C-alpha cells in the first residue's frame, strides 16, 4: 500500500523545481528569513543521499547508473550517448541522466533543437552537469543590474566554486600556456586563458567532489525545520486570486491524488522549457513567454599534446580531466566564443599499434557560440499535445540566422587554430554538435527593465502583472551568452530570493 504523504496546507513560499536556482531560493530564505515556511516540489525522485547530490559522487558504478536511469523522466528508457562520436554517426539520443522530447523538437523549414534534453530528479540537471561556472563577459553581462558582480560572488559561494580542483593535473599548465600563446595578446587579464571556475573541490583524501543542489541547499537549509522537500510531486497549476498568486495544485505521483497548497509567494524554478510550460498551463501568458529561446551552438575538436613526457605509474588515471585539467578561453565581443578544454574521457586512445598515446594527452576542445536572439525562436504549447506527465507538451520553433551560420563557421576555424596550438590534430575537421547539445537553453522567461512585451519578469525575477510570482533558471537570462549559464542563473535567483526575504521580514 502506498503511503499517503502530508503536504502542508499553506506555506509562505512554494518553490517548483529543485535545481540550483530553486535551491538558491531555499538557501537564501533559510539564511535571511528563517521563520518563513518554505516547501519545494520536484517532479522526479530522490536519487542520492544527501538529496540533490551529483551522480559523479556516487562511487559504485551500478548505483550511479541506477540514479541516472531514475532521472530520465516518464516513458521508455532509450539509448544513451556519451560522446560526439555517436552524434557524428547520426544517433539522436540523450546523455545518461537526461531524456529528449518525444516530438515537437523541429518543424519543416526550421532547424529546431533536435537533442533538447531535460532531467527529472531532485537536483535537476545539477546532478549531471560538468560543473563549469565561468562568469559572463562583455555583451554577455546584464547591463541593467548594477550589483551583478556581487550577485555572481554569491553564486560562487552557493555553488562552492573553486579554481584549484585540478591544480595537480600534470598537463594543465601546458595546455593553458599553449592556448595563451595564441589567445591572450591584447586581452585584459580577466579575459585571458585561465583555469575554469568549477563547482567542485578536493577532499583531504584527494577525491574530487562535484557540487549539485545539495551544496547549494547547504546545512542551513537541511537543518531548517521550516523547509520541506517533496519529490515525485508534479505541480500542475499556479493558483491565482485577484491578480496575485494563491498557491499551487500538486499531484502526488505516488498516489495520483491532487492537493492544493496555499502560498504567499511562488517561485517557478523548472528548466527553460518546463517553467514556461507551467505558466502557460496556469493561464499566465505574457507576450514574451517562451520567446527569445536560445541555445549555444557547440563545435568540438580533439588534439594530442605534443612533446609531453610519459607520466609515472602514480599519475592520476581516474578519468575526465585528471591529467589535463579544465581550461577556459573566456568570451569576448571580438571573439564571441566560450572555450572549454579538457581531457577526453576516452583517453588513452592508441592511434596506431606502434604509436601509443601518453595517457591523458588527448584533449577535447569545445567552443560555444552566442545565439543571434530572435523573438520567433520560441517554445509554444497547445491543448492538443501533452507530454509524459500529462502537461502541455513543448513545441519548439527555432532557426539559425545568417549571422549564426557565419559565427559557427568562424568557430570552426578558430577551434582548429586552438587545436594546432595545443598539439597534433586528431581529425581533418571539427564537428558541430546537433542543436540542443549544450543543454544551456535560455531566454524563455527573460528578465527586463520594463513591461513592454519583450520580457517576462522584472530585475527581481517577478513576473509582470502577477503579484507574488517569481521565475528562476537559465530561462531568465536576457542576454546572448556563450558561457555556461549556471552561476549567472544562481546569481539572479539570489536577487529574487533577497527580495522575497525583505518582504517577509518587514
DSSP string, 36-48: S-EEEE-SS---S
Query: For residue 248, how many other CB atoms are within 10 A of its CB?
Result: 27
Q: Which residues contact 236 (CB under 8 A, 6 or more apart)?
A: 249, 250, 251, 258, 281, 390, 391
Quote the radius of gyration of the chain (alpha carbons, Å): 22
- Report the alpha-carbon distance of residue 274 to residue 288 in Å, rounded: 15
Query: Between residues 390 and 80, which one has the greater pLDDT?
Result: 390
**273-281 mean pLDDT:** 98
DSSP code for 309: P
**What's the CA gap between 177 and 189, in Å, rounded?**
14
Task: Give the percent of the chain with pLDDT over 70.
Answer: 90
| Cβ atoms of 338 and 300 closer than 8 Å | no
Of the candidate ranges 51-65, 345-359, 423-437, 488-502, the one whose mean pLDDT is the lowest:
345-359
pLDDT at 283 over 70: yes
Q: Is residue 65 classed exposed, middle or buried when 0-12, 13-18 and 19+ CB atoms within 10 A define those classes?
A: middle
Four-CA torsion 235, 44, 133, 166, nearest 10 degrees: 170
| DSSP SS3 for 152 | helix
- Tell me what the pLDDT averaged over the chain comes to: 91
User: Lowest-confidence range among 77-91, 181-195, 300-314?
Assistant: 77-91
The conformation of residue 126, written as its DSSP 8-state character, comes to: G
Backbone phi and psi for residue 403, each to the nearest 5 degrees, phi listed first: -65, -40
Cell 530570493, located at residue: 497
Residue 443 is placed in which grid cell?
A: 531566454
Q: Report the distance separating Cα 288 and Cα 375, nearest Å.
A: 8
How far apart are alpha carbons 335 and 325 in whole angstroms? 23
pLDDT of residue 75: 76
Q: What is the pLDDT of residues 42-70, one digit of tens each?
A: 999 999 999 999 999 999 999 999 999 99
Dump pLDDT digits (tens) for 150-160.
999 999 999 99
pLDDT over threshold 80, residue 81: no
pLDDT the model gives residue 416: 97
Q: Please, what is the Cα angle at 296 between 290 and 302, to 5 degrees?
A: 160
Mean pLDDT within 78-98: 67
Q: What is the C-alpha end-to-end distance of the chain, expressed in Å?
A: 45
pLDDT in the model for residue 1: 46
Closest alpha carbon to 478 in 131, 132, 145: 145
- Residues 455, 460: Cα–Cα separation, whole Å: 12
Per-residue pLDDT reduced to its tens digit, 312-336: 555 544 444 456 789 999 999 999 9
Measured distance CA(430)–CA(460) in Å, rounded: 41
Confidence of residue 89 (pLDDT cuts 50, 70, 90): low
Positions marked active-site = 440
pLDDT at 323: 67
The pTM score is 0.94
As a whole number of angstroms, the distance between CA 5 and CA 219 comes to 24
Q: Residue 409's pLDDT is what? A: 98
Amino acid at each position: 500500500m502506498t503511503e499517503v504523504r502530508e503536504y502542508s496546507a499553506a506555506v509562505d513560499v512554494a518553490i517548483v523545481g529543485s535545481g540550483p536556482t530553486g535551491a538558491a531560493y531555499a538557501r537564501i530564505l533559510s539564511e535571511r528569513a528563517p521563520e518563513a515556511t518554505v516547501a519545494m516540489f520536484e517532479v522526479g525522485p530522490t536519487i542520492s543521499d544527501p538529496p540533490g547530490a551529483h551522480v559523479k559522487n556516487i562511487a559504485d558504478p551500478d548505483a550511479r547508473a541506477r540514479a541516472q536511469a531514475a532521472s530520465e523522466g516518464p516513458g521508455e528508457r532509450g539509448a544513451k550517448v556519451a560522446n560526439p562520436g555517436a552524434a557524428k554517426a547520426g544517433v539522436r539520443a540523450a546523455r545518461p541522466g537526461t531524456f529528449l522530447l518525444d516530438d515537437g523538437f523541429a518543424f519543416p523549414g526550421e532547424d529546431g533543437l533536435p537533442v533538447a534534453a531535460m532531467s527529472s530528479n531532485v537536483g535537476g540537471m545539477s546532478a549531471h552537469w560538468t560543473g563549469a561556472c565561468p562568469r559572463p563577459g562583455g555583451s554577455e553581462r546584464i547591463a541593467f543590474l548594477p550589483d551583478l558582480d556581487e550577485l555572481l560572488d554569491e553564486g560562487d559561494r552557493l555553488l562552492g566554486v573553486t579554481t584549484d580542483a585540478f591544480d595537480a593535473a600534470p598537463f594543465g599548465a601546458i595546455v593553458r600556456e599553449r592556448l595563451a600563446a595564441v589567445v591572450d595578446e591584447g586581452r585584459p587579464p580577466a579575459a585571458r586563458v585561465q583555469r575554469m571556475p568549477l563547482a567542485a573541490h578536493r577532499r583531504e583524501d584527494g577525491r574530487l567532489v562535484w557540487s549539485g543542489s545539495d551544496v547549494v541547499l547547504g546545512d542551513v537549509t537541511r537543518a531548517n525545520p521550516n523547509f520541506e522537500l517533496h519529490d515525485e510531486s508534479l505541480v500542475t497549476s499556479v493558483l491565482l486570486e485577484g491578480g496575485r498568486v494563491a498557491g499551487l495544485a500538486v499531484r502526488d505521483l505516488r498516489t495520483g491524488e491532487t492537493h492544493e497548497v496555499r502560498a504567499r509567494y511562488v517561485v517557478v524554478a523548472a528548466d527553460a522549457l518546463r517553467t514556461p510550460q507551467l505558466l502557460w498551463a496556469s493561464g499566465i501568458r505574457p507576450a514574451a513567454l517562451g520567446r527569445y529561446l536560445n541555445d549555444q551552438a557547440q563545435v568540438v575538436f580533439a588534439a594530442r599534446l605534443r612533446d609531453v613526457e610519459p607520466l609515472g605509474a602514480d599519475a592520476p588515471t581516474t578519468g575526465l580531466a585528471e591529467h589535463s585539467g579544465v581550461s577556459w578561453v573566456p568570451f569576448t565581443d571580438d571573439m564571441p566564443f566560450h572555450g572549454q578544454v579538457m581531457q577526453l574521457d576516452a583517453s588513452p586512445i592508441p592511434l596506431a599499434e606502434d604509436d601509443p598515446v601518453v595517457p591523458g594527452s588527448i584533449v577535447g576542445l569545445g567552443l560555444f557560440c552566442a545565439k543571434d536572439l530572435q523573438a520567433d525562436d520560441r517554445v509554444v504549447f497547445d491543448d492538443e499535445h501533452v507530454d509524459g506527465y500529462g502537461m502541455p507538451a513543448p513545441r519548439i520553433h527555432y532557426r539559425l540566422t545568417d549571422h549564426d551560420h557565419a559565427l559557427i563557421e568562424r568557430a570552426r576555424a578558430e577551434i582548429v587554430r586552438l587545436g594546432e596550438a595545443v598539439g597534433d590534430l586528431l581529425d581533418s575537421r571539427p564537428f558541430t554538435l546537433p542543436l540542443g547539445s549544450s543543454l544551456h537553453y535560455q531566454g524563455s522567461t527573460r528578465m527586463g527593465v520594463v513591461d513592454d512585451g519583450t520580457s517576462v519578469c522584472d530585475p527581481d525575477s517577478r513576473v509582470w502583472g502577477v503579484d507574488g510570482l517569481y521565475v528562476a533558471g537559465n530561462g531568465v537570462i536576457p542576454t546572448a551568452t556563450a558561457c555556461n549559464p549556471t552561476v549567472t542563473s544562481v546569481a539572479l535567483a539570489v536577487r529574487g530570493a533577497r527580495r522575497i526575504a525583505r518582504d517577509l521580514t518587514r
